[in-house]
């Protein structure tokens, strides 16, 4: 191959003047993790609310939840980020839009909101399927005991539902981390964007991408192990795997 390898590149100063190329990648990884953590918080909270709405009796609440899920599931994440970044500020009343456009860290805020809402639809589907997977008798028994609707969810349905959906929720968390890379299109300096920048400054494309790949693998591994530990920890005796 006509490619000149140079693994020492990571310890050279980057032309940005803020440290070595390695530092650039580390900062990128930090941005990826912070963005993913906040987006996951939004996805988890909003997704849980929407998922619960979907399982409520009656017609209105499930219909609202279905609209939310279909809306955020049927547009590519990249398009949703563009909507939040370019379109929403224009739709807001004048001063609000200007304020939003001039935020210094607009790409970060947009990425957190955009990825958070995008993932919330997926979390909602999981939460709803977790609640629906429970025997119908559980809801009836809670009602018979005199629990109110919110109490039924808080003390009976959700604790079991979350345990059932822990494995799929873990992969949604991993998806959230991976999806932060899409935000490089709106200028977020996350890991993939920083690997690209290393490549553009130094022309050492494969070293930069290898480092980013390894970082994603390690993050993935840690998240997977943490989820497995959590699964063991919260297991209810008599349910699930022995």
Partner 1 sequence: MSNFDFDIVWQNLPYLFLVGLRFTLTLTVLAALGGVILGTLLAILRQSGGPVLSGFVAGYVNLVRALPLVLVIFWFYFLVPYVGQWVTGSPRPIQVGGFASALITFIVFEAAYFSEIMRAGIASIPRGQSSAGQALGLTHAQVMRYVVLPQVFRIMLPVLLTQTIVLFQDTSLVYVLSITDFLGAASKIAERDGRLVEMYTFAALVYFVLSFAASRGVQRLRARYAVPR
Check the CA dihedral 77-79-84-86 and report its sign. positive
Nearer to partner 1, 56 or 83 (CB): 83
Q: Confirm or reject binding of residue 238 to partner 1 (CB under 8 A).
A: no
- Per the listing, tokens 């807001």 go with 92
CA 198 remoteness from chain centre = 25
CB of 105 to partner 1, least distance (A): 20
Burial 187-197 (b: 16+ CB within 10 A, else e): ebbbbbbbbbb
Nearer to partner 1, 98 or 145 (CB): 98
Q: Confirm or reject binding of residue 179 to partner 1 (CB under 8 A).
A: yes
Residue 236 sits at φ, ψ, to 5 deg, of: -90, 125
Q: State the Cα–Cα distance between residues 239 and 242, nearest whole angstrom.
A: 8
Q: Confirm or reject binding of residue 4 to partner 1 (CB under 8 A).
A: no
Q: Confirm or reject binding of residue 239 to partner 1 (CB under 8 A).
A: no
CB of 167 to partner 1, least distance (A): 14
CB of 192 to partner 1, least distance (A): 5
Site for partner 1 in 190-209 (CB under 8 A): 192, 195-196, 199, 205-206, 209
Q: Confirm or reject binding of residue 21 to partner 1 (CB under 8 A).
A: no
Q: Distances from the Cα of 34 to the Cαs of 60, 108, 111, 189, 217, in angstroms?
A: 36, 10, 11, 12, 17
Token pair, residue 121, equals 């639809």
CB of 232 to partner 1, least distance (A): 21
Nearer to partner 1, 158 or 173 (CB): 173
For every residue of 37-67, DSSP letters joined together read HHHHHHHHHHHHHHHHHHHSSSSHHHHHHHH
Site for partner 1 in 105-134 (CB under 8 A): none
Q: Confirm or reject binding of residue 236 to partner 1 (CB under 8 A).
A: no
Chain residues in the site for partner 1 (CB under 8 A): 1-3, 70-71, 73-80, 82-83, 86-87, 90-91, 174, 178-182, 184-185, 192, 195-196, 199, 205-206, 209, 212-213, 216-217, 220
């Amino acid at each position: 191959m006509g490619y000149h390898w140079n693994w020492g590149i990571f310890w050279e100063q980057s032309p940005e003047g803020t440290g070595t190329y390695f530092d650039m990648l580390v900062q990128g990884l930090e941005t990826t993790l912070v963005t993913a953590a906040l987006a996951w918080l939004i996805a988890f909270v909003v997704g849980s609310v929407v998922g619960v709405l979907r399982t409520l009796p009656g017609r209105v609440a499930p219909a609202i939840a279905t609209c939310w899920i279909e809306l955020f599931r049927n547009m590519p994440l990249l398009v949703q980020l563009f909507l939040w970044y370019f379109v929403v500020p224009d739709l807001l009343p004048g001063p609000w839009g200007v304020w939003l456009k001039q935020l210094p860290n607009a790409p970060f805020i947009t990425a957190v909101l955009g990825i958070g809402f995008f993932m919330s639809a997926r979390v909602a589907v999981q939460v709803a399927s977790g609640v629906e997977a429970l025997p119908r008798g559980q809801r009836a028994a809670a009602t018979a005991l005199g629990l109110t609707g919110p109490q039924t969810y808080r003390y009976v349905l959700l604790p079991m539902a979350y345990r059932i959906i822990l494995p799929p929720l873990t992969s949604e968390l991993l998806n959230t981390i991976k999806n932060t890379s899409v935000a490089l299109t709106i200028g977020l300096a996350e890991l993939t964007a920083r690997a690209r920048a290393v490549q553009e400054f130094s022309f050492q494309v494969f070293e930069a991408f290898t480092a980013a790949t390894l970082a994603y693998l390690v993050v993935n591994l840690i998240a997977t192990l943490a989820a497995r530990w959590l699964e063991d920890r919260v297991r209810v005796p008599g349910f699930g795997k022995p």
